[in-house]
């Protein structure tokens, strides 16, 4: 039985709202913080969750700038802010090359890179932001943290760079009671519509239902009717997750839900390799066998990884406090 998101809650406008100054003409902007955070916004909750988590770890709501809108208004930024944060999420995807080139050339403020990673989708011809640009930005950053070894190695970054799980873990921990769910038989299919081939989506659903599980679905994209926390509740209420999205696996991990990740991008394989908590397969045709096996119900080091995310947050928060 398919569980429809819209049937679980009443209707209201639940879109995530940030103080995004890139949306506002310069003469109408209202600065609310002394730190500016660069992020990506396309209603994918995987982009919002690390941003919100970073705000909570810093105990303040930051002004933001959507990096889809480049070039940045550096005159305004330099006149109104003391530092910038880049992160989190997949901000090293090749579509953001223009932003990184602009940042490397023009930013004069201290830079903190937090919780970001490279994206190398199988169907992309261009792989990531150019390496030399990224390496130069990391070299002049005051703090730098990435979400996986793939990002570190792809960009040939310092071997001692901070690597932790996505800040999303903190947001989920702060807003939900996180515990294993032992009662029920529901599988949530978290789909990446741009990576998951259309002809594979029915195969995934059929495999889940044939294995005897109750099927639920989310594209992880918020709308006015289905906001971020409403989508997160789907994860909380499920027993297991099947996902073609990295953030499907991250959110499953954050709720301590075993997952089966179908990888169309090596970043998903890299997440599983480093953090565990499920299994990773390459093809939906392998899903039926994976569901029957108990291998995907493996234990994770959730609490250890959550603590490590918080530790990096405390380092940054303490440094910002001293600067003020």
Among 119-128, 142-151, 189-198, top mean pLDDT goes to 142-151
Per the domain annotation, does 40 fall within a domain?
Answer: yes
One domain, residues 99 and 239: no
Give the separation between CA 315 and CA 293, rounded to whole angstroms.
41
Per the domain annotation, does 1 fall within a domain?
Answer: no
Q: Which domain holds residue 139?
A: 13-172+305-323
63-96 pLDDT, tens digit each: 999 999 999 999 999 999 999 999 999 999 999 9
One domain, residues 113 and 195: no
Give the separation between CA 165 and CA 168, rounded to whole angstroms.
8
Residue 116: strand pairing partners = 89, 146
Say whether pLDDT at 1 is over 50. Answer: no
One domain, residues 274 and 183: yes
Strand order through the sheet with 35-39: 19-20, 63-66, 35-39, 83-86, 111-116, 143-146, 162-163
The tally of domains found in the chain comes to: 2
Give the separation between CA 284 and CA 212, rounded to whole angstroms.
17
One domain, residues 219 and 290: yes
Per the domain annotation, does 3 fall within a domain?
Answer: no
Per the domain annotation, does 136 fall within a domain?
Answer: yes
One domain, residues 238 and 114: no
Say whether pLDDT at 4 is over 50. Answer: no
Model confidence at 3, pLDDT cuts 50, 70, 90, reads very low
What rounded mean pLDDT belongs to the chain?
94
Give the separation between CA 110 and CA 140, rounded to whole angstroms.
8
Q: Which two tokens stand for residue 42?
A: 């396309």
Say whether pLDDT at 6 is over 60. Answer: no
One domain, residues 20 and 75: yes
Contact of 163 with 145, CB cutoff 8 Å: yes
One domain, residues 28 and 59: yes
Q: Quote the pLDDT of residue 9.
A: 44
Per the domain annotation, does 4 fall within a domain?
Answer: no
Question: Residues of the chain with pLDDT > 90: what percent?
Answer: 90
Per the domain annotation, does 8 fall within a domain?
Answer: no
CATH number at residue 184: 3.40.50.2000
Say whether pLDDT at 5 is over 50. Answer: no
One domain, residues 163 and 194: no
Q: Quote the pLDDT of residue 228.
A: 96
Per the domain annotation, does 292 fall within a domain?
Answer: yes
One domain, residues 136 and 33: yes
One domain, residues 17 and 162: yes
Contact of 35 with 83, CB cutoff 8 Å: yes
Please report, for the chain, how many H helices and E strands are present, in that order: 12, 13
Q: Quote the pLDDT of residue 13.
A: 61
Give the separation between CA 65 and CA 72, rounded to whole angstroms.
8
CATH number at residue 106: 3.40.50
Question: For residues 42 and 207, which has the higher predicted lDDT (pLDDT)?
Answer: 207
Per the domain annotation, does 209 fall within a domain?
Answer: yes
One domain, residues 261 and 149: no
DSSP label at 38?
E
Give the separation between CA 63 and CA 68, rounded to whole angstroms.
16
One domain, residues 140 and 201: no
Q: Which two tokens stand for residue 87?
A: 């992160």
Residue 124 neighbours by CB distance under 10 Å:
14
Question: For residues 126 and 138, which has the higher predicted lDDT (pLDDT)?
Answer: 138
**Mean pLDDT in residue range 285-312:** 95
3-state secondary structure of 147: coil
């Amino acid at each position: 039985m398919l569980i429809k998101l819209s049937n679980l809650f009443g209707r209201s406008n639940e879109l995530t709202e940030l103080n995004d100054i890139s949306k506002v003409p310069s003469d109408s902007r209202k600065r609310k913080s002394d730190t500016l955070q660069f992020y990506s916004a396309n209603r994918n909750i995987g982009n919002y969750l690390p941003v919100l988590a970073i705000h909570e770890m810093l105990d303040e709501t930051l002004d933001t700038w959507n990096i889809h809108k480049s070039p940045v208004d550096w005159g305004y930024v330099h006149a109104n802010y003391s530092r910038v944060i880049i992160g989190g999420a997949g901000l090293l995807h090749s579509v953001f090359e223009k932003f990184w080139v602009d940042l490397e050339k023009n930013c004069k403020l201290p830079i903190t890179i937090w919780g970001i990673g490279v994206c190398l989708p199988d169907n992309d011809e261009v792989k990531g932001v150019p390496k030399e640009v990224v390496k130069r930005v990391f070299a002049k950053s005051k703090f730098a943290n990435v979400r996986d070894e793939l990002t570190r190695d792809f960009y040939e970054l310092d071997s001692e760079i901070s690597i932790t799980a996505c800040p999303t873990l903190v947001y989920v921990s702060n807003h939900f009671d996180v515990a294993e769910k032992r009662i029920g038989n529901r599988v949530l299919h978290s789909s990446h519509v741009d990576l998951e081939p259309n002809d594979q989506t029915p195969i995934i659903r059929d495999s889940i239902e044939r294995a005897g599980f109750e099927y639920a679905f989310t594209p992880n994209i918020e709308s006015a009717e289905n906001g971020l926390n409403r989508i997160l509740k789907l994860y909380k209420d499920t027993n297991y997750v099947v996902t073609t999205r990295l953030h499907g696996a991250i959110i499953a991990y954050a709720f301590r839900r075993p997952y089966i990740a179908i990888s169309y991008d090596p970043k998903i394989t890299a997440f599983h390799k480093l953090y565990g908590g499920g299994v990773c397969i390459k093809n939906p045709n392998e899903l039926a066998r994976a569901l029957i096996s108990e291998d995907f119900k493996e234990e994770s080091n959730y609490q250890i990884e959550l603590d490590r995310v918080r530790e990096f947050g405390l380092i940054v928060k303490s440094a910002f406090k001293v600067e003020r």
